[in-house]
Amino acid sequence: MNEETERFILDLLADHNILTLATVRPDGYPQAITVGYVNDGLTLYVGVGADSQKAANIAKDSRASLTVDRDYADWNKIKGLSMGGRAELVDDEAEIQRALDLMLKKFPQITELLGSDESLAEMDEMALIRITPEVISVLNYELGFGHTEMVWLD
């Protein structure tokens, strides 16, 4: 991936707060949910309920797809991302704390949910998901209606 495309992706991730994450249910149907996210480079993190269907889906099948976008009044201005990759439940406390630090920086309102002395690692009712993209479709209609660029990651 060239530097310009990577910068476009990272800027878009920084400018947005939510994504739609699709995982595979046990019956084979996709399940999509909109969640807040943070990113560390191209790696994304989302929090879900530990007992949620989303966490159960990922525990059985790591395949995931997601979109990052918003509603544009002018379709010639549409910018967004569609990613396919692997989603995993994170159990490493250091990684969980790094993700929590990113979440607190991006979403300071989380402190109201956690309280002042708690960390995400101590919250049994929450699960942290790491999403590692394998392919990214970059949408930038400012370069032409329907313009996309496919980026495959190693």
Band (110; pLDDT cuts 50, 70, 90):
confident
What is the model's pLDDT at position 117?
53
Q: What is the CATH number of domain 3-152?
A: 2.30.110.10
Q: What percent of the chain has pLDDT over 90?
A: 85
Average pLDDT, the chain: 92
* Per-residue H/E/C for the chain: CCHHHHHHHHHHHHHCCEEEEEEECCCCCEEEEEEECEEECCEEEEEEECCCHHHHHHHHCCEEEEEECCCCCCHHHCEEEEEEEEEEECCCHHHHHHHHHHHHHHCCCHHHHHCCCCCHHHCCCEEEEEEEEEEEEEEEHHHCCCCEEEEECC
Domain ranges of the chain: 3-152
List Cβ neighbours of 75 (8 Å cut-off, separation of 6 or more): 141, 145
